[in-house]
Every structure is written in structure tokens, then in C-alpha cells.
Amino acid sequence: MLKKATSMLVTLTLLFGLLISAAWAGPEKLAEDKKPALETSAEAAILLDYHSGQVMFSKNADKRLPMASVTKLMTMLLACEAEAKGEVKLNDVITASEHAAGMGGSQIYLEPGEEFTFQEMMIAIATGSANDASVAVAEHIAGSEEAFVQMMNDKAEELGLNNTHFTNPTGLPAENHYTSAADMAVILREALKYPLFRKVSGIYEYDLRDGEFKLWNTNKLLKWYRGCDAGKTGWTSEAKYCLAASAERDNLRLISVVLGCPQPKTHFQETIKLFNFGFARYQAVVLAKKAEKIKTAAVEKGMVDSIDVVTAEQVSVVVPRGGDKDIKGKIKLTPRLVAPVEKGQVVGEYTVVKDGKELKKVNLVAAAGVAKASPFRLMGKVMNKVYSMNK
């Protein structure tokens, strides 16, 4: 009887042990099968911080895919660069060629010989995704569409984009015309540097031809998502639904790119999902704005004795929410600054550190130029100094 009781006790103990083991095995398996923090139906996607370029989420970010009208971000980038250099002016009149007027797809139905200002053409590209306006601007800047496409590919190479190649400035289906989510994020990030791009990209509606032709921005997030102020949509049967967009909240500007979204409106839904993820989990810590005065530096042998030192770009870092403690800035200036000094000349650096670790480094530059003083002026300074000492 005692043996039976002992045997039953051992069996029960073993069974209980197995149950305990099974109970603890559950969480371990769940941990292995744990889903990623964010899922997207886009074939490729990326989310990053505008100022630092820090990537917060990516999926197939380097995969080469068709991009449809998101192509026009590069078209607008080159146009904005040309305007910034003074090569083209906002009120320049652009005359539509027969070739430009013959573009299909999204358009403003240009007639050969029809004229619009450069600014109106840019609005038509950004707001109405107009293929005919894109080609007209390309021809105006480069002389021909082919020459402009070469400029597009040269710019892609300059930006280090290894997974991008352009065949046209519109995004109409063509062989050897592709990009990646990561590359397109770089293009949008570059375009955002230009006030003209931000202006035209943020227009939601516009009256063309004295109100006879209404343009509505294809980027509906300008109305649907708080903080969204720039971007470009795209769709073809090959590329599916695409969107590159930017939004800013509480000094945190995000860039999102989604390519190959399967259904109508999913490019908006997936972009909102990415933006919500970024704004919920991260925060920007801004130590200084772009061109903010940081110090006054002494200048030797110059027409003036000192100069304002400003930041070359915004000094900010992105950290997980709640991780903004103990972030500090360290300023280091050039030991001796001798005239002549050029405006924008690097004269120091602003380093952001946390717990002794460097997070970011930004150049400090001269806010204005300082000419070298003449020998007579230098002699006068010496005399004034001697006089002051003997006073």
C-alpha cells in the first residue's frame, strides 16, 4: 500500500512538473514569434528624422521599385535648385512645346504654344501632378527632356543614390526607371531645403487659367493629417500606390516613403501609420535653431574686432520619448581667428553629448564676412591701445 501511494505521488509530481514547464514554455514561444513593432502592407517603406537622417523604421528600403509620379520630387528638386541659383525666376514665362503638350496621364492639358509662368508650372507639377508641366519645365531648364533626365541621374549620383535611375521627369511607365524607399527619402529630404518646394508642395488647391481650371493636390494628407505639409503621390498599375511625405509636430519633422501599396488610399493609410509610430515613440531635443547666434568671437587684423558665430544648421537630436535627460551641448571655437574671414566660414563646432557619448556635431560659422584691415588701420589700432594703456 505504501509503495502504491509513493508511486502515485511520484507520478503526480512529474505531471505537475510537466504542467509547470508547459506554462512557462508559452511566453518563450510567444517571444520568439513576437510581431515587429510596426507592420505595413507597402512593398517597401522607410521612416526617418529630417534633421539627423536617423531611420526609425524600414522595410525593404533598398529594394528597386517603380515610383510613378513620385518621380516629380527629383524634377522639382532640380527646378528649385535652378531658381535658387538665379538660373530661372518665378515670373519667367514658359512656353509649352508640342512635345510637352503631348504628355498623357495627369496633366493640365497644355496647348502647344500656351504660356504659364515658372511658378504656375511648378504649382501644376506639385499640386496637379501635371506631366505636361513637368516636361515643359524640364525643357525650359535643360533645353530638352533628354538633357534634363541626364541632370536627374547626375543628381542621383551626387546624392549617392545607388538604387535610383530616371528615364523621364514624369514617372510615366518606362524601362529602367526605378528608385528605392531609402533613396526617395533622401531626395525629399534634399527638396525640403528649398522654400520654393515647401511652398508649392503645401498648396492644396489652386485656380489656373483665371479660375477656369481647378487644381486639387493629390496628397490628401495635407488635409487629413495634422502637421503634414509636403510630399508627392504616385500611381501606375506597375508601381501601385506610392507616397513620399513629410510632417512636423513639436519640432520633430519626419519623412515617410511608401512604395507599392496595394489598394486605393492605402498609401495614405500606411503613411499615417508610419507617422503615428514616429511621433508616438520619439521626440526632438532642440539645442539651437539654424543660424542662431551662439557666441561672439574675436577677430585679429580685421576691419572689425569681433564677429557673431552662428549654427550652420539646427542643432537637434531625436531620442525615444523620455530619453531627453542629461543631453548637453559643448562649444569649441577656433583658437585664433585672423582676417580675412568669409561669411559662412567654419569657425568652430557644436557637439551634442549624452553620458559622455557624442550624438551629433554641427559646424559653427561666421555670420558675416570680415575684411582684412589696412596697414594704416592696424597702426591706428595699436596707437589707440597704447594711448588707452597710458591714460
Q: What is the pLDDT of residue 120?
A: 97
| Beta pairing, strands 115-117 & 93-95 | antiparallel
Q: Which of 72, 155, 240, 360 is labelled catalytic?
A: 72
Whole-number Å distance between alpha carbons of 110 and 135:
11
Given the residues 129, 180, 201, 246, the one annotated as active site? 129
Contacts 24+ apart (CB under 8 A), 243-246: 243/70, 243/219, 243/267, 243/268, 243/270, 243/271, 244/70, 244/73, 244/184, 244/185, 244/187, 244/188, 245/188, 245/219, 245/221, 245/271, 245/275, 246/50, 246/188, 246/192
pLDDT range class, residue 391, cuts 50, 70, 90: low
Cα separation, 188 vs 230, whole angstroms:
9
Least confident residue range of 11-20, 68-77, 169-178: 11-20
Among this protein's residues, is 69 annotated catalytic? yes
- Which helix (H) or strand (E) element contains residue 188? helix 181-191
pLDDT band at 99 (very low <50, low <70, confident <90, very high): very high
Partners of 357 in beta bridges:
354
User: What is the average per-residue pLDDT within 241-265?
Assistant: 97
- Residue 83: pLDDT band with limits 50, 70, 90: very high
| Structure confidence at residue 373 (pLDDT) | 86
Q: pLDDT confidence of 312, banded at 50, 70, 90?
A: very high
Consecutive H or E run containing 279? helix 266-281
Residue 73 pLDDT grade (very low, low, confident, very high; cuts 50, 70, 90): very high
Please state the rounded mean pLDDT for residues 151-156: 98
350, β-bridge pairs: 331, 362
Q: Give CA–CA dist 235/270, Å, rounded.
A: 15
Q: Report the candidate in 197, 159, 185, 165 with the shortest Cα–Cα distance to residue 79.
A: 197
As given in the structure block, the three cell numbers for residue 373 are: 584691415
- The answer to whether 199 is a known catalytic residue is no
Chain centroid, CA 311 distance in Å: 19
Buried b (16+ CB within 10 A) or exposed e, 165-181: bbbbbbbbeeeebbbbb
- Min mean pLDDT across 70-74, 151-155, 243-247, 298-302 is at 298-302
211-219: average pLDDT: 93
Joined grid coordinates for residue 34: 513576437
Say if residue 378's pLDDT is above 50: yes
Calpha distance 187→349 (Å, rounded)? 27
CATH tag, 44-284: 3.40.710.10
Report whether pLDDT(257) > 70: yes
Residue 7 has pLDDT above 80, yes or no: no
Is 72 an annotated catalytic residue? yes
**And the C-alpha cell for 338?**
585672423
Overall average pLDDT of the 332-353 stretch: 95
CATH 2.60.410.10 in the chain, residue ranges: 289-376
Confidence of residue 385 (pLDDT cuts 50, 70, 90): low
Assess contact for 141 and 89: CB atoms under 8 A.
no
Percent of the chain with pLDDT over 70: 87
Asked if pLDDT for residue 20 goes beyond 90, the answer is no
CATH homologous superfamily of domain 289-376?
A: D-Ala-D-Ala carboxypeptidase, C-terminal domain (2.60.410.10)
- The CATH 3.40.710.10 portion of the chain extends over 44-284
Q: Compute the average pLDDT of residues 259-283.
A: 97
**What pLDDT does residue 30 have?**
29
DSSP symbols for 341-382:
B-TT-EEEEEEEEETTEEEEEEEEEESS-BPBPPHHHHHHHH
From 59, 69, 106, 232, the catalytic residue: 69
Mean pLDDT of the chain: 89
Mean pLDDT of 355-361: 91
Q: What is the pTM of this model?
A: 0.84
Residue 24 has pLDDT above 50, yes or no: no
* pLDDT greater than 80 at residue 250: yes
Q: Which residues contact 232 (CB under 8 A, 6 or more apart)?
A: 69, 70, 72, 73, 76, 126, 129, 188, 201, 218, 219, 243, 244, 245
